[in-house]
Structure 1
Amino acid sequence: MTVLVLFIVALVVLMVASMWTIFTKAGQPGWAAIIPIYNMVVLLKIVGKPVWWILLFLIPFVNYVFIIWTYNMLSKSFGKSEGYTVGLILLGVVFFPMLAFGDAKYLGPYGDQAAFQAAQQPHFDFDAPKPA
């Protein structure tokens, strides 16, 4: 029983250290990884999504879609592909430390700062002159 407890504690420490390092790489405070709810706020900030998405994480079955989507945006933000997203979902205990302690660099939300800025621009303007 002691061995099992030590193994679980070691996994928790590894995952907290990984998230701490990922947050630090993205220019956010690393200590945010250990604060419940706030760590999701910081994660959403890293991937460029609004804070109200936390409410979507609380809805049963809907939360799976948005957590997977958030992990996909996290992997894109570090220049990784959808294959890496699958790794984060299915083998997070391996892929989160690889993202944290590997050579991945934070590239901004979605991994493409220009595309992110374009997506943040409004698609309409009420004050624009009407075409003749």
Structure 2
Amino acid sequence: MAGLLGMLFTLAFVAFYFVAMWKIFTKAGQPGWGSLVPIYNLYLMVKIAKRPDWWIILALIPILNLITIVLIFDIAKHFGRGVGFALGMLFLPFIFFPILAFGEAQYDATPLAA
């Protein structure tokens, strides 16, 4: 019985996280269903962060995939959030991604200054 409850809790948690990511992608003007598709969701995150398309290749290479940290910081900036929020997205994604998704943050599509 405990195993079944644990599995149901995990499925509910994962479903909630998928809904939050769908909402974030939609807020950024991207297709929400794209958050569910591996690799394609990375492509859309690169677009949301306003980084060059070739960053996808870097994100797929071990060690170089640490650039996904930069993507998270850029996404936070495009939603009007600061470094502290980006760190929250990095270390506590199950809390901060839903805050970004269901909060009042609006996506700003202007490119970031270098």
Q: TM-score, normalised by structure 1?
A: 0.79
Aligned residue number for residue 35 of structure 1: 37
Aligned residue number for residue 90 of structure 1: 91
Q: Aligned pair in 2 of structure 1 residues 80, 118: CA closer, same or farther (>3 Å)?
A: closer
Q: Aligned pair in 2 of structure 1 residues 24, 8: CA closer, same or farther (>3 Å)?
A: same
Aligned length in residues: 112
Aligned residue number for residue 4 of structure 2: 2
2:37 matched to 1:18? no
Letter in 2 for 1:39: N
Give me the whole-angstrom Cα distance separating, in 2, the residues matched to 1:23 and 1:3.
Answer: 30
Give me the whole-angstrom Cα distance separating, in 2, the residues matched to 1:12 and 1:54.
Answer: 24
2:96 matched to 1:101? no
Percent identical residues: 44
Spell out the pairing of 1:40-55 with structure 2 (5 A cutoff).
40-55=42-57
List alignment gaps of at least 5 residues for structure 1: 120-132
Task: Spell out, residue by residue over 1:57-103, the C-alpha distance to the aligned partner (whole angstroms, 9 max, x if none).
Answer: 12222212x01100000100100000011100110000000000001
List alignment gaps of at least 5 residues for structure 2: none
Structure 1 runs of 4+ off > 3 angstroms?
none
Give me the whole-angstrom Cα distance separating, in 2, the residues matched to 1:117 and 1:6.
Answer: 41
Q: TM-score, normalised by structure 2?
A: 0.91
- SS of corresponding position for 1:50: coil
Deviation at 1:118, TM superposition (A): 6.5
Letter in 1 for 2:54: W
Aligned residue number for residue 79 of structure 1: 80
Give me the whole-angstrom Cα distance separating, in 2, the residues matched to 1:11 and 1:46.
Answer: 24
